[in-house]
Amino acid sequence: MAPVKVAINGCGRIGRLAFRAAFDQADKFEFVHLNDLASAESTAYLLQFDSVHGTWAGHELSAEGGCVVVTTKDRVVKIPYSQAKSPAQEQQQQQQQHAESAAEVQRVQHSCSSSSSSGHAELPGELEYAGLGVQQPYLDKGVPKVVVSAPVKDPNPVLNVVMGCNHDLYKPEVDHIVTAASCTTNCLAPVVKVIHEKLGIAHGCITTIHNLTNTQAIVDAPNAKKATCAVPGDLHRTDGRGDEATPAVLSALMNLAPTSTGSATAIALIFPELKGKLNGLAVRVPLTNSSITDCVFEVKKATTAEEVNALLKEASETYLAGILGFETRPLVSVDYVNDSRSSIVDAACTQVIDGTMVKLYAWYDNEWGYSCRLVDLAAHVATSQ
């Protein structure tokens, strides 16, 4: 099968890491276009050098003639580049500047916000880029599939795909826009799958201890977003958005900040029978990468910590291998940076109280792990015709 042609709109944290993850899979992917608000020179530099994930070894990047150029020992790849503010504008520029490549595009990975620092886009980015109406120009121009790297906020349902959990639900004849959900949903879903299928989840609550994102303030600042970005029901002490908006936001480098997460409720999109049974919060912490989700479930079948760990370990070695991990060593957050798995259970922390309350920790590299699943989803979409 010929490599699928891919364009990326949004070369932020996830867009760049997805590019890294997919580029060397030349048998699967051919990149034909990149778009971002930043210049080609900036994007090339940020693809080459990364404060968290290190220099991209074996790859030299530059900008030349309206392209991002990637040079390895085996090949030189020139990828047309544009600076557009919207998918529609990007399509116009792409047709004008790179008509030949644009006509060949068959798949699009779409990073919702060029400024996203995790699996979650900032709110303006989500509202601007993650609705079906904004994705439609791609389909109108002949791009048959769009893969979105954040939850899609739209009244019309879009298939949320968590690889390893429900990717078999993808139907190419109807699912032209799909989303890879969020990084935390990808961490939580494999754990929920095992616990729910083996023990039955009655209800539960999660807390994700999540590193900072660039929606937060580095130093104390007035809350300029308060008047324009409130979303009813959201709790955003990190940047002042939501019903409990504050007049100012405090330094992300010096505070633990409670905030909202839709990851627990989004599980119902993966496992519909759990609708209304799970909820949770997030706490932003002053770290740049690698997060942990604290899961508490009331299960229907009495169990023990040993049984829970045995079930998770078996899944990590069989039907969820490469997606769910199981770790017995006393590791800490930095040890999970650059881990490509979606979720890694910390075995020593598993507890069971009174037979039916299960508590466990699941680590995840919320950037690299999520980006790898995004690439896996793009490959799944490409080969499911």
Q: Residue 57 is which amino acid?
A: A
- CA dihedral in degrees (13, 17, 23, 27; nearest 10)? -120
CB atoms under 10 Å from CB of 286, counted, come to: 14
- Per-position b or e across 168-195, b if 16+ CB within 10 A of its CB: eeeeeeebbbbbbbbbbbbbbbbbbbbb
Q: Radius of gyration over alpha carbons of the chain, in Å?
A: 21
232 CB-side CA count, 13 A: 0
CA distance 72 to 37: 26
Catalytic residue among 183, 187, 229, 295: 183
Structure tokens that stand for 38 in this block: 């930043």
Q: Which of 376, 372, 367 is nearest to 116 (CA)?
A: 367
Instruction: Describe the crossing of helices 183-199 and 263-270 by its angle, rounded to 10 degrees.
Output: 60
Torsion 225-229-233-238 (CA) sign: negative
Instruction: Describe the crossing of helices 368-383 and 183-199 by its angle, rounded to 10 degrees.
Output: 80
CA-based end-to-end distance of the chain = 12
Structure tokens that stand for 308 in this block: 């829970």
SS3 label, residue 23: helix
Q: Which of 62, 38, 31 is nearest to 48 (CA)?
A: 62
Q: What residue spans of the chain are helical by DSSP H?
A: 13-23, 40-48, 87-97, 99-104, 123-129, 132-140, 183-199, 263-270, 305-317, 368-383
| 295 has catalytic annotation | no
Active site positions, annotated? 183
